[in-house]
């Protein structure tokens, strides 16, 4: 009763302790209910992962053709791919980081508007949400191809930019780091906006009023109250953007927005698997990518103080 007014913010901690204290934690029924999920995970996640690790350690078959490998423990595979592809690894994380920051900068005001400002107009709120989700109705590949058209050398945009000398006569937009990062940002904005929207939509405006009442200017209220209270959305959104963006191979591909100098680790893995048939190298790169992402995400979540998301 006394806590009624605090319901929105008190629920997460109470829930957590409530489950932990539950005496029926280890009941066989719960295990039984989990069984399909565990089987699914074992079959479609753990088994391929083990297979991937084994592949990454394979050595070329002594008498085989190209693409034929036998099981071994060749740790040198890892050293070799890092030596050969470290620029791609760095580039991947650099692009993904820039794209994530840009997506956050675009999405936060948008999510704030939909979740807070537009609360008074539920119709506008729903309409804007539909607009955020609308791109999903068209295939990811088609949308990226459309951007390739828009940014191509013959396009209206590029010819106009050249006409006003904002772009040099020999410059391109496609095939540059700009277009790859642009594509990544564009494609992942909905994944950033939706989690941000869900936290901001529940933001209790009375906290902002309290901040205002306690001598904090609107900018200070934003920094000291709004941002910390929307941290779960920020963390969820950046993870949903950064992780897939780091492994993305569509935007950076030469068939889409990328060029020879913009290859990301995803493109390298794709080429090694499908073109060069160098399976151990591709597998080793995949494992490296996964490990680096896991470590980075772990540190990030730990530092942002939102462990309950993991």
Partner 1 sequence: MAAGAFAERGADLELVGIQKRFPGFTAIENLDLTIPAGSFFALLGPSGCGKTTTLRLVAGLEDPTSGRILIGGQDVTTQKAFQRPVNTVFQSYALFPHMTVLENVAFGLRRRKIPDAVGRAHEALRLVELDHLAARKPVQLSGGQQQRVALARAIVNRPALLLLDEPLGALDLKLRRQMQLELKTIQEEVGLTFLHVTHDQEEAMTMADTIAVMNKGRIEQLGSPEQLYELPRTAFVANFLGQSNLFTGPVVGETTSMISVDVAGHAVIVPKSRSHRHGGTVSVGVRPEKLSLHREQPPTDAGRNLLGPGRVIDVSFTGVSTQYLVVVPGIGTLVVFEQNRTFGPVGGEGEEVWVSWHVEHGFGLDDDPADDPKFAADTDTQSIAAQRRAALVTELEEA
Q: Please report, as ranges, the residues that interact with partner 1 according to CB under 8 A.
A: 1-6, 9-10, 13-14, 204, 206-207, 209-218, 220-221, 224-225, 228-229, 231
In the block, residue with structure tokens 């591909």: 253
232 vs 237, which CB is nearer to partner 1?
232
Minimum CB separation of residue 88 from partner 1 in Å reads: 39
Cα-Cα-Cα-Cα dihedral of 310, 47, 293, 186, to 10°?
-90
5 vs 39, which CB is nearer to partner 1?
5
Question: Residue 180 CB: number of other CB atoms within 10 A?
Answer: 27
Minimum CB separation of residue 143 from partner 1 in Å reads: 37
130 vs 214, which CB is nearer to partner 1?
214
Minimum CB separation of residue 213 from partner 1 in Å reads: 5
Minimum CB separation of residue 61 from partner 1 in Å reads: 58
Contact 85, 289 (CB under 8 A): no
Minimum CB separation of residue 225 from partner 1 in Å reads: 6
Contact 102, 109 (CB under 8 A): no
220 alpha-carbon distance from chain centroid:
29
74 vs 202, which CB is nearer to partner 1?
202
Task: Locate all alpha helices (DSSP H) within 174-264, ordered by sequence.
Answer: 177-201, 205-213, 218-221, 227-229, 231-246
137 vs 215, which CB is nearer to partner 1?
215
CA pseudo-torsion sign 186, 188, 194, 195: negative
């Amino acid at each position: 009763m006394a806590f009624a007014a605090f319901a929105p913010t008190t629920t997460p901690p109470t829930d957590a302790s409530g489950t932990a204290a539950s005496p029926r934690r280890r009941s066989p029924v719960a295990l039984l209910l989990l069984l399909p999920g565990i089987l699914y995970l074992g079959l479609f996640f753990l088994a391929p992962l083990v297979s991937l690790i084994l592949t990454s350690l394979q050595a070329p078959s002594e008498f085989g053709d190209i693409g034929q490998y036998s099981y071994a423990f060749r740790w040198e595979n890892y050293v070799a791919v890092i030596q050969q592809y470290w620029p791609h690894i760095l580039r991947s994380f650099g692009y993904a980081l820039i794209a994530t920051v840009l997506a956050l900068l675009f999405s936060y005001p948008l999510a704030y508007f939909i979740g807070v400002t537009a609360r008074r107009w539920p119709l506008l709120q729903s309409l804007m949400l539909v607009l955020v989700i609308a791109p999903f109705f068209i295939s990811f590949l088609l949308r990226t191809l459309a951007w390739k058209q828009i940014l191509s050398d013959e396009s209206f945009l590029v010819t106009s930019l050249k006409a006003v000398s904002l772009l040099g006569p020999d410059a391109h937009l496609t095939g540059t780091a700009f277009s790859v990062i642009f594509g990544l940002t564009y494609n992942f904005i909905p994944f950033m906006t939706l989690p941000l929207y869900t936290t901001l939509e529940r933001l209790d405006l009375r906290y902002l009023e309290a901040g205002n009442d306690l001598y904090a200017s609107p900018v200070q209220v934003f920094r000291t109250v709004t941002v910390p209270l929307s941290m779960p959305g920020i963390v969820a959104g950046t993870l949903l953007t950064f992780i897939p963006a780091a492994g993305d191979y569509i935007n950076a591909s030469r068939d889409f927005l990328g060029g020879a100098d913009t290859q990301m680790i995803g493109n390298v893995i794709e080429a090694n698997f499908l073109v060069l048939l160098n399976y151990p190298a591709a597998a080793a790169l995949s494992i490296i990518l996964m490990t680096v992402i896991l470590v980075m995400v772990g540190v990030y979540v730990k530092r942002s103080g939102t462990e309950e998301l993991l």
